[in-house]
């Protein structure tokens, strides 16, 4: 099977996908890649030049947006797509993005991380909020700010989703406060070979909040499409 490239949400690291790397390693070579290019164009180009041949790409939130950008830019390279709680449109609030970047560069990393953790995950996921904050502190304010800057360059790809013919898995946390379930449902409707799985009680980060279920869904999907993904 082709390698599986896992793109974390901002500002997360390989811990976002620890359960998936462990639970899928007998099926595929899992590589977690943290991308902090200051534009989505540059991020996609970095991925395409860093990886040889065809691959499967997965991403959560920011990482999912970058996965979509890469799949549209190089459909011949992306054999499969796994998306979690991401928006294929342009960012809806560019002023908020600029404010986040400014705060991060003004010494407010901990405050921003606390706010993001509270908004991204339900109260029942307190342990996951702690892990998120720890990841953000390790990633650091400048990398987080560059990832935030990149959101200013995100293009609207809603009209291109129907052109993505690769097998696609969409895993969606249903209590995400950032993105409503309707976005995931509309993505699945537009993408010709998409499978949508909704996770009850899960927020913005399925792989972190419900790791066993998320891994099982991905495993079943990989096995289902193993002929197309080799």
User: Residue 196: inside a domain, yes or no?
Assistant: yes
Overall number of domains in the chain: 1
Q: What percent of the chain has pLDDT over 90?
A: 99
Average pLDDT rounded to a whole number, residues 221-229: 95
User: Residue 124: inside a domain, yes or no?
Assistant: yes
| Average confidence score pLDDT of the chain | 97
Q: Verify cis geometry, omega within 30 degrees of 0, for the bond prior to 11.
A: yes
Q: What percent of the chain has pLDDT over 70?
A: 100
User: Residue 229: inside a domain, yes or no?
Assistant: no
User: Residue 172: inside a domain, yes or no?
Assistant: yes
Average pLDDT rounded to a whole number, residues 55-68: 98
User: Residue 230: inside a domain, yes or no?
Assistant: no
CATH number of the domain within which 138 lies: 3.40.50.1820
Per-residue pLDDT reduced to its tens digit, 90-109: 999 999 999 999 999 999 99
- Domain span including residue 14: 4-224
Q: Residue written as tokens 């927020």?
A: 203
User: Residue 139: inside a domain, yes or no?
Assistant: yes
User: Residue 174: inside a domain, yes or no?
Assistant: yes
Average pLDDT rounded to a whole number, residues 5-33: 98
**Residues in CB range of 136: below 8 A, 6 or more apart:** 11, 12, 109, 113, 116, 144
Identify the band that residue 86 occupies on the pLDDT scale cut at 50, 70 and 90. Answer: very high
Per-residue pLDDT reduced to its tens digit, 160-209: 999 999 999 999 999 999 999 999 999 999 999 999 999 999 999 999 99
Q: Can you give the pLDDT at residue 38?
A: 87
């Amino acid at each position: 099977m082709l390698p599986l490239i896992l793109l974390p949400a901002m500002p997360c690291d390989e811990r976002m996908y620890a359960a998936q790397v462990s639970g899928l390693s007998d099926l595929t070579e899992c590589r977690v890649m943290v991308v902090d290019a200051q534009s989505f164009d540059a991020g996609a180009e970095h991925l395409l030049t860093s990886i040889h041949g065809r691959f499967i790409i997965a991403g959560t939130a920011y990482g999912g947006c970058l996965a979509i950008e890469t799949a549209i830019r190089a459909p011949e390279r992306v054999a499969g797509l796994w998306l979690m709680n991401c928006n294929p449109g342009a960012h809806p609030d560019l002023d908020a993005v600029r404010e986040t970047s400014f705060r991060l560069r003004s010494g407010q990393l901990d405050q921003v991380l606390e706010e993001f953790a509270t908004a991204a995950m339900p109260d029942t996921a307190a342990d996951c909020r702690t892990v998120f904050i720890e990841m953000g502190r390790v990633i650091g304010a400048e990398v987080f700010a560059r990832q935030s800057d990149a959101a200013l360059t995100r293009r609207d790809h809603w009209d291109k989703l129907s052109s993505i013919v690769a097998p696609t898995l969409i895993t969606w946390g249903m209590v995400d406060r950032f993105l409503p379930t309707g976005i995931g449902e509309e993505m699945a409707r537009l993408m010709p070979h998409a499978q949508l799985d909704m996770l009850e009680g899960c927020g913005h980060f399925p792989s972190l909040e419900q790791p066993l279920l998320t891994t099982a869904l991905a495993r079943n999907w990989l096995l289902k499409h193993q002929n197309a993904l080799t």
